[in-house]
A and B are shown apart, each in its own frame.
Chain A
Amino acid sequence: MMPTLGLMEAFDRHGALLARAPITRWPMTVGRGLDCDLVLDDPFVAPLHLRIDRAVDAPRTVSVEICETRNGATLHRKHHGNGERFDWPDGTPLEIGRTRIALRLADTAIAEEQALPQFPWRTLATTVVLVALMVAAVLGSSWLEASEVSKYLKSLPGLLLGLVVMLGAWSGLWAIANKVFDGRLQFWRHVRIACAMYLAAEAMQVAANLAAFAFSWETLSRFAYLLISLVLATGIYAHLAAVLPRRRAGLAWAVGAVVLLGVPAWLGAQWLDRMRLSNELYMSSLFPPSLRLAPAVPISQFLQETGSLRGRLDRRLRGDDPGDDEE
Chain B
Amino acid sequence: MPFPTRWPLRLVAPLLLLACGLANSQTPPNASATSAPAIRASAVVSPGGAAAAAVPSSAGSPQDVAAPAPGIAPVAPAVPAAALSRDARRIYELSRDKLVQIRTLLRNSNTQASIGSGFFVSADGLIVTNFHVASQLALEPERYSGAYVTIDGQEGAVELLAFDVQRDLAVLRAKNRTASAPVLEFRPAAEAMAQGERIYSLGNPLDIGFAVTEGTYNGLVRRSFYPRIFFGGALNPGMSGGPAVDDAGRVLGVNVAKRLDGEQVSFLIPAEFAQALVQRAAHAQAITQPAYDEVTRQLQVHQNLLTERFLQTPFQEQRHGRYLVPVPNDALARCWGSGRDPDFHALNLERTKCQADSDVVAGDFNTGTVRLSYEAYDAPTLGAARFARTYSQSFGNEPFLKRGNRRQTAVECTERYVDQGSLPLRAVVCMSAYRKLPGLYDMTVMAATLNQSTQGVLARLDVRGIAFDNGLKLADRYLQAFRWEGAP
**Footprint of B on A, CB under 8 Å?**
143-148, 151, 216, 218, 273-276, 279, 281-290, 292, 294-303, 305-310, 312-314, 316-317, 320-327
Q: Are B405 and A326 in contact (CB under 8 A)?
A: yes
Q: Which of B411-428 contact A (CB under 8 A)?
A: 411-420, 424-428
Which of B396, B410, B472 is within 8 Å of A307, CB to CB? B472
The interface residues of chain A lying within 8 Å CB-to-CB of B403 are 273-274, 323, 325-327
Q: Are B431 and A295 in contact (CB under 8 A)?
A: no
Q: Are A286 and B347 in contact (CB under 8 A)?
A: no
**Footprint of A on B, CB under 8 Å?**
341, 343-347, 384-393, 395-396, 399-406, 409-420, 424-433, 435, 441, 446, 448, 450-453, 468, 472, 475-476, 479-480
- A312–B430 Cα distance when bound, in Å, is 11
Q: Please, which residue of chain B has its CB at the minimum distance from the CB of A307?
A: B472
Known: A286-B391, A320-B410, A327-B403. A148 touches B346 (CB 8 A): yes
Known: A144-B386, A286-B392, A289-B424. A306 touches B480 (CB 8 A): no
The interface residues of chain B lying within 8 Å CB-to-CB of A300 are 476
The interface residues of chain B lying within 8 Å CB-to-CB of A151 are 343
Distance of A304 from chain B, by nearest CB (Å): 9
Name 28 A/B residue pairs within 8 A (Cβ), A-sorted. A144-B385, A144-B386, A147-B345, A275-B410, A281-B402, A282-B413, A288-B385, A289-B424, A289-B450, A289-B453, A290-B453, A292-B450, A299-B418, A301-B418, A306-B472, A309-B429, A310-B468, A313-B409, A316-B410, A316-B412, A320-B404, A320-B409, A322-B435, A323-B404, A326-B401, A326-B403, A327-B402, A327-B403
- A284–B450 Cα distance when bound, in Å, is 13
Known: A288-B385, A288-B388, A299-B479. A309 touches B400 (CB 8 A): no
Q: Are A309 and B412 in contact (CB under 8 A)?
A: yes
Q: Are A313 and B412 in contact (CB under 8 A)?
A: yes
Distance of B75 from chain A, by nearest CB (Å): 43
List 18 extra interface pairs beyond A283-B426, A292-B424, A296-B416, CB under 8 A.
A144-B385, A146-B386, A147-B345, A148-B346, A285-B392, A285-B396, A286-B388, A286-B426, A286-B448, A289-B451, A298-B420, A302-B429, A306-B414, A307-B472, A313-B432, A316-B433, A323-B406, A326-B405
Q: Are B385 and A322 in contact (CB under 8 A)?
A: no
- A55–B441 Cα distance when bound, in Å, is 91
Q: Are A148 and B344 in contact (CB under 8 A)?
A: yes
Distance of B213 from chain A, by nearest CB (Å): 35
> Which of A273, A276, A300, A309: most chain B Cβ within 10 A?
A309
- A55–B404 Cα distance when bound, in Å, is 81
Distance of B141 from chain A, by nearest CB (Å): 21
Distance of B167 from chain A, by nearest CB (Å): 28
Q: Please, which residue of chain A has its CB at the minimum distance from the CB of B468?
A: A310
Q: Are B433 and A317 in contact (CB under 8 A)?
A: yes
Q: Are A327 and B400 in contact (CB under 8 A)?
A: yes
- A324–B401 Cα distance when bound, in Å, is 12
- A297–B392 Cα distance when bound, in Å, is 21
Q: Are B344 and A296 in contact (CB under 8 A)?
A: no
Distance of A273 from chain B, by nearest CB (Å): 8
- A285–B392 Cα distance when bound, in Å, is 5
Q: Are B429 and A306 in contact (CB under 8 A)?
A: yes
Q: Are B414 and A309 in contact (CB under 8 A)?
A: yes
Q: Are B451 and A299 in contact (CB under 8 A)?
A: no
Q: Are A283 and B415 in contact (CB under 8 A)?
A: yes
Q: Please, which residue of chain A has its CB at the minimum distance from the CB of B345?
A: A148
- A218–B426 Cα distance when bound, in Å, is 12
Distance of B300 from chain A, by nearest CB (Å): 16
- A249–B265 Cα distance when bound, in Å, is 76
Q: Are B409 and A316 in contact (CB under 8 A)?
A: yes
- A197–B275 Cα distance when bound, in Å, is 73
The interface residues of chain A lying within 8 Å CB-to-CB of B417 are 216, 292, 294-297
The interface residues of chain A lying within 8 Å CB-to-CB of B410 are 274-276, 316, 320
Distance of A120 from chain B, by nearest CB (Å): 37
The interface residues of chain A lying within 8 Å CB-to-CB of B391 are 286
Q: Please, which residue of chain A has its CB at the minimum distance from the CB of B448?
A: A286
Q: Please, which residue of chain B has its CB at the minimum distance from the CB of A141?
A: B389
- A212–B248 Cα distance when bound, in Å, is 70
- A61–B428 Cα distance when bound, in Å, is 77
Which of A282, A298, A313 is within 8 Å of B428, CB to CB? A282
Q: Please, which residue of chain B has its CB at the minimum distance from the CB of A149?
A: B346
Q: Are A284 and B392 in contact (CB under 8 A)?
A: yes
Distance of A263 from chain B, by nearest CB (Å): 21
Q: Please, which residue of chain B has its CB at the minimum distance from the CB of A295?
A: B417
Q: Are B441 and A313 in contact (CB under 8 A)?
A: yes
- A279–B386 Cα distance when bound, in Å, is 25
- A301–B416 Cα distance when bound, in Å, is 10
The interface residues of chain B lying within 8 Å CB-to-CB of A325 are 403, 405
Q: Are A274 and B419 in contact (CB under 8 A)?
A: no
Known: A289-B453, A324-B406. A144 touches B389 (CB 8 A): yes
Q: Are B450 and A312 in contact (CB under 8 A)?
A: no
- A305–B416 Cα distance when bound, in Å, is 9
Q: Are B480 and A299 in contact (CB under 8 A)?
A: yes
- A327–B408 Cα distance when bound, in Å, is 12
The interface residues of chain B lying within 8 Å CB-to-CB of A289 are 424, 450-453
- A325–B450 Cα distance when bound, in Å, is 35
Q: Are B405 and A145 in contact (CB under 8 A)?
A: no
The interface residues of chain B lying within 8 Å CB-to-CB of A326 are 401, 403, 405
The interface residues of chain A lying within 8 Å CB-to-CB of B409 are 313, 316-317, 320
Q: Are B419 and A296 in contact (CB under 8 A)?
A: yes
> Which of B344, B385, B433: most chain A Cβ within 10 A?
B433
Distance of B433 from chain A, by nearest CB (Å): 4
The interface residues of chain A lying within 8 Å CB-to-CB of B346 are 147-148
> Which of A275, A299, A323: most chain B Cβ within 10 A?
A299
The interface residues of chain B lying within 8 Å CB-to-CB of A327 are 399-403
Q: Are A297 and B416 in contact (CB under 8 A)?
A: yes
The interface residues of chain A lying within 8 Å CB-to-CB of B396 are 284-285
Distance of B378 from chain A, by nearest CB (Å): 15
Distance of B436 from chain A, by nearest CB (Å): 10
Distance of A278 from chain B, by nearest CB (Å): 11
Known: A148-B345, A302-B427. A279 touches B476 (CB 8 A): no
The interface residues of chain B lying within 8 Å CB-to-CB of A314 are 433
Q: Are B404 and A321 in contact (CB under 8 A)?
A: yes
Distance of A146 from chain B, by nearest CB (Å): 8
Distance of A260 from chain B, by nearest CB (Å): 28
Name the 7 nearest CB pairs between A and B, nearest first.
Answer: A284-B396, A296-B419, A147-B344, A296-B417, A316-B409, A313-B433, A144-B389
The interface residues of chain B lying within 8 Å CB-to-CB of A292 are 417, 424, 450
- A313–B415 Cα distance when bound, in Å, is 16
- A287–B385 Cα distance when bound, in Å, is 7
- A183–B338 Cα distance when bound, in Å, is 63
Known: A281-B430, A297-B416, A322-B435. A316 touches B401 (CB 8 A): no
- A301–B475 Cα distance when bound, in Å, is 12
Q: Are A286 and B450 in contact (CB under 8 A)?
A: yes
- A194–B435 Cα distance when bound, in Å, is 49
- A286–B429 Cα distance when bound, in Å, is 17
Q: Are B388 and A287 in contact (CB under 8 A)?
A: yes
The interface residues of chain B lying within 8 Å CB-to-CB of A273 are 403
The interface residues of chain B lying within 8 Å CB-to-CB of A288 are 384-385, 387-388, 453
The interface residues of chain B lying within 8 Å CB-to-CB of A281 are 400, 402, 411, 413, 430
